[in-house]
Structure 1
Amino acid sequence: MRGKVPLRVRILTALAAEPDWDSITPDQIIEVREAQARKRGSALGRLVTSKPDRGARITTRTLDLPERRLDVRVYRPEQENSALPLIIAFHGGGFLVGAPDQDDWLLSHLAANLPAVVAAVDYRLAPEHRIGAIVQDAYDAAVRLAESAPELGADPGRIALLGSSAGATLAALTAIHARELELTVRTQVLINPQLDWTDRLFDYPSFTENADAPSPTPAFCRAMVRLASPEPSDRTTFSPLLTGDLTGVAPALIQAAGLDPLEDQAPAYADRLRQAGVAATLTRYPKATHAFLSMPGLVPAARPARTEILTHLHTHLLERPSVRSA
């Protein structure tokens, strides 16, 4: 390990039973999702994820897309404003698990304190749907949200994309294709990102050195690749890190977790962006585990990371930055 996992994370990991990801069935994955949702709603779960910001209201709306409907969790400041920036967010979970409400602590804070309208997309998951359909959900939802921005009280000319883990895949890909999607993306925020879906995923030094981290385990990584993008498929198509031309992509804030098996993908992508002339800020949180911004009750690094995100968004979405203390 590149450091010591925080005590509270170690205790919680010891108490939780890890599924057998190498042999898990589709029905069992659905059971895991349901169990995770129950945990997030429990008293212990609320201690892990922490409470939403009281300055934000949280509602759900439905997007009607071609041949499907997606729910979106919307965060807006209690004090109404007009033409707020629009942050489109994608949760993590390896495209197998996860839901927008796991990021309530972060997203409600951004909505209340930037302020902004934050829309977290509840995209489809594997193995019921393959990664191509999941990526299309991100593209179509982003376009529809931009179109309906005035209805939301948001400005379609000031969009930020935010994603963690596999959600960072969606944020980064949407940023790469923003021009053809006719989206005005000012910036992107990628948190402990998963950016390489090829077999190279297992070759980064961090994957070996942090293999004993509580998440994502090697077995989980094998499952997410196998179930979200089974052979034969060209996984470079969905790997932002392997995209040929990154010229003109929106400036990025990339946050790496020092105890994350995926850590090395963050500096690798920052280097690719800089080589393309894109401004990229890379920050490493050495005592953070993967998904640390979804469990601020366990990982102290979540609070300064959230403040950094707020400051970055102020700089790129508002004319005169002004940050309230976290």
Structure 2
Amino acid sequence: MTPEQVIEHREALNRKRRSPLFGLITGRPDRGARITTHTVDLPGRQLGVRVYRPERGGSALPLIVAFHGGGFINGTPDQDDWLLSYLAARCPAVVVSVDYRLAPEHLLPAAVEDAYDALPRLIEQAGPWGADPARTVALGSSAGATLAALTAIRAAELGQPVRAQILINPQLDWTDRVFRYPSFTENADAPTATPANCRAVQRIAFPSSFDARTMSPLRLENLAGTAPALIQAAGLDTLEDQAPAYADRLRQAGVDVTLTRYSTATHAFLSMPRLVPAARPARAEMLAYLRSHLLERSETATRDR
């Protein structure tokens, strides 16, 4: 595909995603959440954000900063409405999904720079949305999980208040080694994240001579101090092996990790809840993880005061 064809395909996919028929696949937003769109000012640019807040309001709620999937060439925040509205309404929490820049218009590392710059900006303006910046979570799926993992690593280095990370069918290795994991061959016939898709992303999104190690959490050396992680692997995913590999790396660095494998799930299964039954237990696990983790930290902070 040419860059122009990639853009046309993305626009067509976005139109389909917003159609009533596509809603039968992606699921409906939770009625207990209010969804609004905003912009945030970053150095030299503005980004759109999709904000999910519980209808019943509230203050000092956890802040979940989310990154959608799509291989850095596709995807929009609204593809995760079914998941993110549920977390906002049921946790409850303020969820902000970042509409980061995509290739081929913006080659990597543009998306990574957006994630790095968006996190502190969203933490700064969390108050007006009723969020507690001291209880921030990074969440992402697929390529979005790359951004969530990278922001969690950077937050540990800079002392930013990321308290947990949730990585859904994550891609965590963007080097050529991605093609050598056993799951890449074993799940080559999977309907999503096909080998052809994975190779196309590298060709379309990476500039020439780009060092993919710099944005591959699995290839980074220092993971110490990174926030505790919930990692959800899909058993029918070409990228499946990256999840346990990264869980091992985090544990070696002293990070608490919960790794769950959904054996009948395909890549991007949380965006297709009506087609993949595993989406509902995975969403429930996320909610339980957030509640237990954030409640525990909140109570500890109260006792310390």
Compute the TM-score of the two structures, normalised by the length of structure 1.
0.90
| Residue of 117, 125, 144 corresponding to 2:102 | 125
Identify which of 203, 215, 228 aligns with 1:238.
215
Distance 2:223 2:91 in 1: 28
- The superposition leaves residues 173-201 of structure 1 with CA deviations (integer Å, 9 ceiling, x where unpaired) of 00000034442011000000000000001
1:305 maps to amino acid: A
Contact preservation (8 Å) 2:62, 2:132: yes
Looking at structure 2, the residues matched to 34 and 128 of structure 1 have their Cα atoms a distance apart, in angstroms, of 13
In structure 2, what is the Cα distance between the partners aligned to 1:39 and 1:83?
37
Aligned partner of 1:258 among 219, 235, 256: 235
CA contact (8 A) 1:139 1:174 kept: yes
CA distance in 2, matches of 1:245, 1:180: 9
1:74-130 CA distance string (max 9 Å, x none): 000000101110000000000000000000000000000000000000000011112
Cα separation, partners in 2 of 1:239 and 1:118, compared to 1, 3 Å: same
Tell me what 2:71 maps to. Answer: 94
CA-CA distance at 1:28 after TM superposition: 1.0
**Aligned equivalent of 1:59:** 36
C-alpha distance in 1 between matches for 2:114 and 2:18: 26
The CA distance in 2 between the partners of 1:79 and 1:43, in whole Å, is: 27
**Alignment pair present for 1:212 and 2:198:** no
Distance 1:57 1:42 in 2: 20
Structure 1 gap ranges (5+): 1-23, 322-326
**2 CA distance for matches of 1:160 and 1:304?**
20
The Cα shift of 1:223 comes to 1.2
- Partner of residue 61, structure 2: 84
Unmatched tracts of structure 2, length 5 or more: 299-305
Match of 1:110 in 2: 87
State the shift of 1:220 in Å: 1.1
Counterpart contact for 1:254–1:283, Cα < 8 Å = yes
Per the alignment, residue 17 of structure 1 pairs with none
> Do residues 268 (structure 1) and 225 (structure 2) align?
no
| CA contact 1:59–1:74 (8 Å) conserved in 2 | yes
- The 1:59–1:203 alpha-carbon spacing in structure 2 relative to 1, beyond 3 Å, is same
Q: Which amino acid aligns with 1:277?
A: G
Counterpart position of 1:226 = 203
User: 1:12 — aligned with what?
Assistant: none
Which deviates the most, 98-107 or 225-234? 225-234
1:10 corresponding residue in structure 2: none
User: Could you give the per-residue CA deviations for residues 205-261 of structure 1, whole angstroms, max 9, x where no partner exists?
Assistant: 000000010111111111111222233121110000111011000000000000000
Q: Which shows bigger deviation, 110-119 or 127-136?
A: 127-136
- The amino acid across from 1:257 in the alignment is A
1:52–1:105 Cα contact (<8 Å) kept: yes
**Matching of residues 29-68 of structure 1 within 5 Å:** 29-68=6-45
Give the RMSD, CA atoms, in angstroms: 1.2
Amino acid at match of 1:314: R
* Structure 2 counterpart SS, 1:258: strand
Please state whether the residue corresponding to 1:131 is helix, strand or coil: coil
SS of 1:236's equivalent? helix
Given residue 131 of structure 1, which amino acid in structure 2 is its aligned partner?
L
Amino acid at match of 2:208: E
Q: Residue 129 of structure 1: SS of its match in structure 2?
A: coil
In structure 2, how many angstroms separate the alpha carbons of the residues matched to 1:203 and 1:320? 39
How many angstroms does 1:25 deviate by? Answer: 1.2
Q: 1:25 and 1:86 mapped to 2: Cα distance?
A: 38
**Within-5 A mapping of 1:293-304:** 293-304=270-281
Maintained 8 Å contact 1:255/1:282? yes
In structure 2, distance between residues paired with 1:79 and 1:281: 31
The answer on whether the counterparts of 1:139 and 1:181 sit within 8 Å (CA) in structure 2 is: no
Query: What is the CA–CA distance in structure 2 between the aligned matches of 1:284 and 1:30, rounded to whole Å?
Result: 33
Cα contact 2:234–2:267 (8 A) shared by 1: yes
TM-score by length of 2: 0.96
Contact preservation (8 Å) 2:139, 2:166 = yes
Q: Aligned residue for 1:151?
A: 128
Measured in 2, the distance between the counterparts of 1:35 and 1:240 equals: 31
Contact 2:145–2:168 (CA under 8 A) maintained in structure 1: yes
The answer on whether the counterparts of 1:250 and 1:278 sit within 8 Å (CA) in structure 2 is: yes
